[in-house]
Amino acid sequence: MKDLAGKVRAAVEHYQLIDEGDRIAVGVSGGKDSLFLLWSMAQLARYYPKKFSLLAVTADPCFGGKETDFSGIEAFCRELSVPYLIRRTNLGPIIFEERREKNPCGLCAKMRRGILHNICVERGFNKIALGHHFDDAAQTFLMNLFYGGSIGCFSPKSYLSRKDLTLIRPLIFCEEREIKKEASKRGFPVVKSGCPADGNTARRDTQRLISSLEREFPDLRTKLVGALQRGGIDGW
């Protein structure tokens, strides 16, 4: 765990993600990545020299018109002494029943982020932390290239002027396999996604492509993220 904790702190310090007095909302989807993010941020808050406060936030898409059971995460947050807010939405029915989106992931992610951003503004939080990690960065780089014909990625830190809100990604130095191992070891209360498109996405296809390419080009993910950093692309 020391290695992972060190990577989180390294990202925080390298990209200056946390300032004194920050009020940070942590986006919690229920997956292993967001739960590890919440756990690591709660641990960091205990000893980091710059003091900050946390709020765990979930935007429930209510897939199939049903509310998701987040009781395990509620208990987890109580253990961490982090307040938890669940905002029930109708994203699921809108995307899959009303609009019948053929490629729903982009729209769903965008709408969920908008809901989380609005919650931050309502509650007076100045930053929101998302659980994108090292592998996500490599995959996003290739997805932008293959699907959009552009060179780019999400940013480690970005300022949303319309909301006066800063978005941070403290896990960008953490590999997915490390997070998965730690989540299993600690028994995080992972909530399985009820999304009809779960496991059948462009991101999953890109993940498989990278795994295949790494048989011939070892450390491809590291090279892709390194290219982002050396090129200074999107704040990397």
- Total domain count, the chain: 1
Residue 98: the pLDDT is 81
Residue 1: the pLDDT is 55
Residue 199: the pLDDT is 67
Residue 226: the pLDDT is 96
Residue 189: the pLDDT is 97
Note the helical H segments in 93-190.
Answer: 104-123, 134-148, 176-186
pLDDT, one tens digit for every residue, the chain (236 residues):
568 989 999 999 999 999 999 999 999 999 999 999 999 999 999 999 999 999 999 999 998 889 999 999 999 999 999 999 999 988 888 888 888 777 777 788 888 889 999 999 999 999 999 999 999 999 999 999 999 999 999 999 999 999 999 999 999 999 999 999 999 999 999 999 888 877 668 888 999 999 999 999 999 999 999 999 999 999 99
Residue 2: the pLDDT is 62
Contact 1, 168 (CB under 8 A): no
Residue 92's φ and ψ, nearest 5 degrees, are: -55, -55
Residue 61: give the domain boundaries: 2-235
Q: What is the DSSP letter of 193?
A: -
Residue 57: the pLDDT is 97
Q: Is the pTM of this model over 0.85?
A: yes
Q: How far is CA 160 from CA 135, 163, 164, 229, in A?
A: 24, 6, 6, 22
Contact 43, 35 (CB under 8 A): no
CATH code of the domain in which 212 resides: 3.40.50.620
